[in-house]
Amino acid sequence: MTHSYYKYVVALISVLVFFLMAGIVWAQTGKPIVVIDPAHGGKDQGVLGIHQAAEKDLTLAIALAMQRELAQDSRIQVVLTRNDDRTVSVEDRREKIQKLHPAMVLSLHVNAGFGRNSSGFEMYYPGFKSLEASRAGENGQTVTSQNQYLGDAVKLARLTQKNLDVLFPRKGRGLREAMTPLSEGLSVPVLVVELGFVTNAEEKKKLTDGKIQADIARALAKSVQAFF
């Protein structure tokens, strides 16, 4: 065995031990990891609403407020895919999520378009159709796990619908099946929440209001807490 090969083997073992110990610590603390994903950031502004209200700023503000809410719950460990205005690619977000093996991922977005009267919040999850398309060549255990992930996403969506309905009565646009860029290739529950339309004057005013942002964060945090 050459010296360089020996160093490679030692480094590989060290990495494996690190991830094993991380899993043991999680199991011992009993704290599930919740990933909050504020969409866009940095050079990627996301959608722009009335008076240049940028999606990246709104999602970050609500994500940080949500993190503060959940920090009060000792049962849960919270990780953000970004905690400031920086550019983070979808690939980097997925890689971070894969390393964490979280109990759930909540990706925050705001909507635009479909006319100035469009309003309301809606949610997306990969859906069981995407599961059926990937069944070929997979063993039963893998399919069972994916069913569980999708079921958990639906459970979180129902809780989120209930709590956001209190804030925005009759504004729910429902849960839709769609493979989003973030959820592609991930074996964890992923729920994408579109919190409203910044192209709608009334909703833009609410989404940029600090108090209402805090109310939205509280409703989302309550949904996560109820999940566990």
Which tens digit of pLDDT belongs to each residue from 187-223?
899 999 999 999 999 999 999 999 999 999 999 999 9
- E strand residue ranges, the chain: 33-38, 77-80, 104-111, 121-125, 172-177, 190-197
Strands (E), 12-137: 33-38, 77-80, 104-111, 121-125
With a cut of 80, say whether residue 85 has pLDDT above it. Answer: yes
Rounded Cα distance between 111 and 120, Å, is 9
| pLDDT score recorded for residue 15 | 39
Q: Write down the pLDDT at residue 114.
A: 81
Does the pLDDT value for residue 81 go beyond 80? yes
Degrees to nearest 5, angle at CA 82 with 78 and 86: 170
Question: Is residue 39 predicted with pLDDT exceeding 60?
Answer: yes
* Domain at 32-227: CATH code: 3.40.630.40
pLDDT tens string 99-131: 999 999 999 999 998 888 999 999 999 986 655
Burial class (CB in 10 A: 0-12, 13-18, 19+), 72: exposed
- pLDDT for 131: 55
Question: What secondary structure letter does DSSP report for 79?
Answer: E
Q: Is 175 strand, coil or helix?
A: strand
| pLDDT 10s digits, 11-34 | 444 434 434 444 444 544 579 999
Q: Among 48, 41, 56, which residue's Cα sits nearest to residue 89?
A: 41
The reported pTM is 0.83
